[in-house]
Amino acid sequence: MSVDLVIAGAIIKDHQMIEKVIESIMPYKDIFKEKFILLDGPPDDKYVGFVDDYNWYKKNLFEKYNDIFEIVDFDFNNYFRSNMEWICELSDSKYLFVIQDDVCVDKMNLGKILIDMTAKDMKLVNFPHRQLPLENDHHWFQGFGDMFPEPYIKTHGWSERVFICDREHFKNALKISPKNSKNTINFCDMIYHKKMISKEWENMNDEEKEEYWKIWGCYTHWTVLHRHLVAKR
């Protein structure tokens, strides 16, 4: 099975932050078929000085990492969802390992996770910032089936900060999901979250909710977590 690494980058004030991100995932460098850094275009409302600083940052990334990563410099501020749609079309790997440029992830057995995803037909595995509460009262995740003793929980809701997805399945989920608000136009995990806080969701039974879940097929890892470095942009 093949997997590509995708680091999703954007305008950022701390130029060293991405170094920490790369350090956290490079132990798995030999597993990745291709490695990408996607650099989103700057927002239109940024002052010239910020844009110049971003251009200098991108220049340094090209100089340091061009031999390791395919670095994609977008002209426009596309936001995360559009860039994910783009990379899903470009890549031909079975899976994408996606991590944002201000996130570090715990050590993991990536090979085992990929084998599990294939064997158990898990379409998306995300790594939360803290372990899910047993009371199942987290506003972002609603667990409804674990796979004990394997460390995966079937969840309504997922986090796009760091995740592994079946590329074709994920591409299709984005293709059929609405762009009916600023958040669902710009982001991926907000599509599910917006559904979960809707009146429609409140009136759905468990079977109907699981039918919606099949669009994403998302699981949350119970033990591998991420640390959000909270970039200033």
pLDDT of residue 135: 62
Residue with tokens 């136009």: 185
204 C-beta neighbours (distance < 10 Å), count = 16
Q: Does residue 136 have a pLDDT over 70?
A: no
Which CATH class for the 3-228 domain?
alpha beta
Q: Angle at CA 26, nearest 5°, toward 13 and 40?
A: 35
pLDDT of residue 161: 98
Per-residue pLDDT of 211-225, as tens digits, reads: 999 999 999 999 999
Decide if 226 contacts 106 (C-beta within 8 A).
yes
Residue with tokens 């909270």: 230
d(CA 61, CA 154): 37
Tokens of 176: 């059929």
Q: What is the DSSP string of 51-68?
A: HHHHHHHHHHHHHHHTTT
Tokens of 152: 């995966």
pLDDT of residue 138: 63
Mean of pLDDT values over 23-27: 95
